[in-house]
Amino acid sequence: MKLSSKRIKTAIAVSATVALAMGVSVFAVPAQANNYKIGVSNSWAGNSWRETMVCAIKAEATLSGKVANVTVLSRNTDAAGQSADIRTLKTQGVDAIIVNSGDPAANNAAIKEATDAGIKVIAVDNAITAPDTTLVANDQVAYGRVGAAALAKAMKYKGNVLYMRGASGAGADTDRDKGFKAEMKKHKKIKITKEVFTNWDWATGGTLANQLLVPGKFQGVWTSGIDYNIVTAMTTKLKGKYIPVVGSDNNEFMKLTKSLAPKGFVGIVVPNPAIVGGYAAKVAIGLLDGNTVPAKNLLKPKALTYAKDKKEIDARIVATQEATFSATLSLPGKTTFTPSQLFRCKAPQDSDDGGR
């Protein structure tokens, strides 16, 4: 079943409406076994990656059999709005909050209120600086570094790079930039001649590609996951003379990496799985069970190319999903749900069969 953005956004909106309607202030109390309440604060709604992240949280929570309710507050908002959402979840008496923050430090006061009340706070995807919290994410510094190393190799260690970042100030973007630039400093014949921000917006990335791609100007492109439309722009702007591009595990980018390989295109796939949300849910449940959990729980990214990783790229493509779908369906040892359970996108309170 296809992960419909409309269906997922509707489900998220309903969850948020129900949550906001419950205005009674309570303090978190120790959860009863198998009856945990988990809150999710997501500051960016309508984004395919984030929607899949939320679905993974719901699927893992449902499958655990230990969670009674997952309340999702997901909307496009600023730091003040997200802090308000975190406080709303606190007043609802949730036992844990999974937060994907738009700023590393801007929500610290609200997060401290939650942790002071005994609520477990798990940052997912974007790192935060608030104390007494747990991080579950891709190793974003390594993400930038391994993609840069693979790009340098594909460029034969010389030439100009179009560097297309994510959103300025976001923790993941800052960390990726650190890894990317540290690696590129090693290669004296490579220059970053243009640096732009896509804000992880597909339309913005496509517009920038069509404006900036000129034959002979760049010998490689690094993207922070806004990728396939950059390749598409090359078909017209570079007249099909493809240059190497670093992208993520997005469905269409991997399809193009496969289909254009015979034409000399080198697509470098560095997975950034949206289902890391499921891993965050598993960590949250472990914390609520009283288990000892490391402060940082990081996935180790690797760079895939069709020349050396044909079978893995082929296996990752999900034909039934949309172009922007983050096509990683499981994290062995870190998630337990099946693809069908992920695609159902149902929280425990929505499932009549426990999601099994």
| HEC-encoded secondary structure of 149-198 | HHHHHHCCCCEEEEEEECCCCCHHHHHHHHHHHHHHCCCCCEEEEEEEEC
The answer to whether position 30 is within a domain reads no
**Confidence label for 174 from pLDDT (cuts 50, 70 and 90):** very high
What is the sign of the dihedral through the CA atoms of 234, 237, 242 and 243?
A: negative
Residue 62 has pLDDT above 80, yes or no: yes
pLDDT band at 53 (very low <50, low <70, confident <90, very high): very high
- One-letter amino acid at 49 equals W
The pLDDT value given to residue 356: 46
197: left (phi over 0), alpha (psi -120 to 50) or beta: beta
Q: Is residue 227 one of the residues assigned to a domain?
A: yes
Is residue 245 assigned to a domain? yes
Neighbours of 212 (CB within 10 A): 17
Residue 326: name the closest of 351, 307, 343 by CA.
343
27 located within any domain: no
The overall average pLDDT reported for the chain is: 91
Check if the beta carbon of residue 2 is closer than 8 Å to that of residue 322: yes
Q: Are residues 149 and 264 in the same domain?
A: yes
Please enumerate in sequence order all residues whose Cβ is within 8 A of that of 232, keeping only pairs 6 or more positions apart, or say none.
206, 256
| 80-84, 155-159, 327-331, 352-356: least confident range | 352-356
Query: Residue 352: its pLDDT value, please?
Result: 63
* Close Cβ partners of 26 (under 8 Å, ≥ 6 residues apart): 91, 92, 93
Q: 220 with 293, same domain? A: no
Residues 68 and 126 in one domain: yes
Do 261 and 284 have their domain in common?
A: no
8 Å CB contact between 99 and 119:
no
Per-residue pLDDT averaged across 254-258, rounded? 97
Identify whether residues 150 and 186 lie together within a single domain: yes
Nearest to 119 by CA among 90, 81, 99: 90
The total domain count for the chain is 2
Backbone angles phi, psi at 316, to 5 degrees: -80, -30
Q: Are residues 165 and 257 in the same domain?
A: yes
Mean pLDDT score, 189-214: 97
Provide the CATH number for the domain around residue 263: 3.40.50.2300
What pLDDT score does 3 carry? Answer: 52
pLDDT of 38 above 90: yes
Does residue 277 lie in a domain region?
yes
Rounded to 10 degrees, the C-alpha dihedral 75/68/128/76 comes to: 0
Specify the pTM: 0.88
Residues linked to residue 78 through DSSP beta bridges, in sequence order: none
Instruction: Give the pLDDT mean for 122-128.
Output: 96
For 216-234, how does the pLDDT look when each residue is reduced to its tens digit (9 = 90+)?
999 999 999 999 999 999 9
More confident residue, 354 or 49: 49
**Span of 43-52, 186-195, 278-287 with lowest mean pLDDT:** 43-52
Q: Is the pLDDT of residue 118 over 60?
A: yes
Lowest-pLDDT range of 16-25, 126-135, 264-273, 301-310:
16-25
What is the structure's pLDDT at 240? Answer: 82
Query: Do the beta carbons of residue 184 and residue 192 sit within 8 Å?
Result: yes
pLDDT band at 125 (very low <50, low <70, confident <90, very high): very high
Q: What is the mean pLDDT of residues 190-219?
A: 97
Is 60 a domain residue?
Answer: yes
- Tell me: do 162 and 256 sit in the same domain: yes
Structural domain that includes position 69:
36-137+273-299+331-347
With 70 as the cut, is the pLDDT of residue 101 above it?
A: yes
The pLDDT of residue 48 is 93
